[in-house]
């Protein structure tokens, strides 16, 4: 299992100059290679292999106009080509969007493999630099002197902060002890998450809390002249404000996902179409500020790592409109209706808690391998022998829930 340690780095002036030059060379190699790929595809309809891009890099270094490419380590340049090749593989496999050109205003990074750095006695030395790179190690449980990283990533964020990331190949951790509990999780905006156990996790709304200060910084940035030093300072302030929001959100998501993984053996969530939901201009900011996609990614990673099971049910399953007691389904339920009464059994439902209970029931059907598990059909609700038919769901394009991420199941 590959894991990573990310910590703050404090390069001196000479190291900053070398690293900034490396970032620029990585950007040039990436952009020129991407432009050549696109031109070849449009003109001849042919793709480009990694071997061909490697040969093109050798030709670029021989070009007198690009002689500065030889002033930096060749390892980050070759890694840029490998990353672009994998990016196109992910694009053609429909796992990612089309690779884009790199900008000097965004996050910059350089990847160093073992032949371009040394880590001895806790001191990190990079290729083309004379002094060790100073960084702050923040993990007392990990011994830095015995660390054997496979790669070191040096990055500079838009706000000017430097980071060093050490990626290592570690052994799989011991699975967490079983708790005998399963939970359904309904994600929302009013409450970030409501569980089938009745717990409501409040939405901290980190972006909304800093909306006024962000707007003020961006107004100052808009008034600055293009290319001026004041504009660079104003852009750094905007980046720092966004960094605080990003880090606060990440900390909240990690705490919430870790607690769910520790307390439950099975976690059931919905396959939300976040990309489609943010097209609603009235809810786009609120939905984006929740971080549902990152929360699902963290749950999947931690469940796989600690021997838990994550079940994702189909997005078309009407969890909010279905009575968790008898299985009766409403024809319509507006988003503003937070409570409703079942006309079949008379039960009074909290919208989110009822949805979480139905999500858990559908997840158990998926775990049993029910023939209707793709759309939540064949779910037997508590207190009733009524089983919901899937006849009306067969015409909709539905995808089966993600099976267990635990190995061997």
CA-to-CA distance for 29 and 85, rounded, in angstroms?
13
Nearest C-alpha neighbor of 405 from the set 284, 280, 261, 289:
261
Residue 384, pLDDT > 60, answer no
> Tell me: the pLDDT tens digits for 199-240?
999 999 999 999 999 999 999 999 999 989 999 999 999 999
Distances (CA, A) of 166 to 2, 25, 237, 345, 377: 10, 22, 28, 58, 46
Evaluate whether 290 touches 189 at the Cβ level (below 8 Å): yes
Banded pLDDT at 82 (limits 50, 70, 90): very high
Rg (CA), the chain: 26
Residue 52 annotated in active site: no
Q: What pLDDT is recorded for position 400?
A: 36
Q: What pLDDT is recorded for position 85?
A: 96
Percent of the chain with pLDDT over 70: 90
Q: What pLDDT is recorded for position 40?
A: 94
Banded pLDDT at 334 (limits 50, 70, 90): confident
Phi/psi of residue 28, nearest 5 degrees: -65, -45
Q: Which of 157, 265, 314, 352 is catalytic?
A: 352
CA-to-CA distance for 38 and 17, rounded, in angstroms?
32
Residue 171, pLDDT > 90, answer no
Report the Cα 196 to chain-centroid distance in Å. Answer: 25
Mean of pLDDT over the chain: 87
Distances (CA, A) of 108 to 96, 135, 193: 20, 18, 34
Global pTM?
0.81
Banded pLDDT at 369 (limits 50, 70, 90): low
How confident is the model over 275-293, as a mean pLDDT?
A: 88
Residues in Cβ contact with 77 at an 8 Å cutoff, skipping those fewer than 6 apart = 25, 26, 29, 57, 69
CA-to-CA distance for 121 and 370, rounded, in angstroms?
56
Q: What pLDDT is recorded for position 169?
A: 87
Banded pLDDT at 399 (limits 50, 70, 90): very low
Q: What pLDDT is recorded for position 244?
A: 93
CA-to-CA distance for 355 and 151, rounded, in angstroms?
44
CA-to-CA distance for 161 and 153, rounded, in angstroms?
14
Evaluate whether 363 touches 352 at the Cβ level (below 8 Å): no
CA-to-CA distance for 173 and 1, rounded, in angstroms?
9
Residue 324, pLDDT > 80, answer yes
Tell me the Ramachandran region of residue 198: left when phi exceeds 0, alpha when psi lies from -120 to 50, beta otherwise: left
Nearest C-alpha neighbor of 374 from the set 401, 338, 347:
401
Evaluate whether 290 touches 248 at the Cβ level (below 8 Å): no
Q: Which residue has the higher pLDDT, 383 or 66?
A: 66
Evaluate whether 319 touches 187 at the Cβ level (below 8 Å): no
CA-to-CA distance for 81 and 338, rounded, in angstroms?
51
Residue 389, pLDDT > 60, answer no
Tell me the three state secondary structure of residue 13: helix
Q: What pLDDT is recorded for position 331?
A: 84
Q: What pLDDT is recorded for position 387?
A: 43
Banded pLDDT at 348 (limits 50, 70, 90): confident
Banded pLDDT at 24 (limits 50, 70, 90): very high
How confident is the model over 380-403, as a mean pLDDT?
A: 40
Q: Determine which helix (DSSP H) or strand (DSSP E) holds 217, and give its type and residue range.
A: helix 211-223
Of 25-39, 203-217, 279-293, 381-395, the one with minimum mean pLDDT is 381-395
Q: What pLDDT is recorded for position 341?
A: 86
Evaluate whether 364 touches 182 at the Cβ level (below 8 Å): yes
Residue 403, pLDDT > 70, answer no
Residue 125, pLDDT > 50, answer yes
Q: Which of 157, 270, 314, 373 is catalytic?
A: 270
Residue 86, pLDDT > 80, answer yes
How confident is the model over 342-369, as a mean pLDDT?
A: 85
**Paired tokens of 265:** 């053996």
Residue 186 annotated in active site: yes
Q: What pLDDT is recorded for position 340?
A: 85
Q: Which residue has the higher pLDDT, 7 or 327?
A: 7
Q: State the helix-helix crossing angle for 50-62 and 13-44, rounded to 10 degrees.
A: 120
Q: Which of 186, 265, 314, 373 is catalytic?
A: 186
Residue 143, pLDDT > 60, answer yes
> Tell me: the pLDDT tens digits for 236-283?
999 999 999 999 999 999 999 999 999 999 999 999 888 888 888 888
Residue 352 annotated in active site: yes
């Amino acid at each position: 299992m590959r894991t990573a340690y990310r910590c703050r780095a404090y390069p001196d002036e000479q190291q900053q100059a070398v690293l900034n030059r490396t970032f620029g060379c990585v950007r040039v190699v990436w952009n020129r290679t991407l432009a050549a790929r696109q031109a070849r595809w449009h003109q001849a309809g042919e793709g480009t292999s990694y071997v061909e891009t490697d040969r093109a890099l050798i030709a670029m270094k021989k070009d007198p106009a690009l002689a500065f490419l030889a002033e930096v380590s060749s390892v980050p340049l070759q890694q840029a080509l490998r990353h672009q090749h994998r990016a196109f593989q992910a694009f053609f496999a429909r796992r990612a969007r089309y690779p884009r050109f790199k900008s000097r205003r965004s996050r910059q990074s350089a990847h160093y493999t073992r032949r371009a750095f040394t880590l001895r006695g806790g001191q990190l030395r990079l290729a083309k630099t004379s002094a060790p790179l100073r960084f702050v190690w923040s993990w007392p449980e990990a011994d830095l002197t015995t660390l054997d990283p496979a790669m070191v990533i040096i990055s500079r964020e838009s706000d000017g902060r430097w980071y060093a990331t050490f990626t290592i190949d570690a052994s799989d951790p011991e699975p967490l002890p079983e708790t005998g509990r399963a939970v359904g999780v309904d994600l929302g905006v009013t409450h970030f998450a409501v569980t089938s156990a009745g717990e409501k996790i409040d939405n901290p709304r980190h972006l909304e809390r800093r909306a006024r200060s962000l707007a003020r910084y961006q107004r100052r940035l808009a008034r600055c002249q293009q290319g001026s030093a004041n504009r660079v300072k104003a852009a750094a302030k905007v980046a720092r404000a966004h960094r605080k929001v990003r880090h606060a959100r990440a900390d909240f998501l990690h705490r919430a996902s870790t607690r769910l993984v520790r307390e439950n053996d099975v976690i059931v969530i919905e396959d939300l179409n976040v990309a489609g939901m943010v097209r609603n201009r009235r809810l786009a900011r609120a939905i984006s500020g929740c971080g549902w996609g990152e929360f699902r990614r963290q749950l999947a990673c931690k469940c796989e790592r600690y021997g838990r099971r994550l079940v994702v049910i189909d997005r078309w399953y009407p969890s909010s409109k279905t009575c968790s007691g008898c299985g009766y389904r409403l024809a319509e339920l507006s988003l503003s209706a937070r409570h409703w009464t079942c006309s079949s059994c008379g039960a009074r439902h909290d919208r989110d808690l009822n949805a979480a209970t139905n999500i858990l029931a559908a997840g158990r059907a998926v775990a049993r391998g029910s023939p209707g598990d793709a759309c939540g059909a064949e779910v037997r609700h508590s207190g009733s022998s009524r089983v919901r038919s899937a006849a009306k769901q067969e015409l909709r394009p539905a995808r089966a829930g993600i099976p267990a991420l635990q190995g061997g199941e």
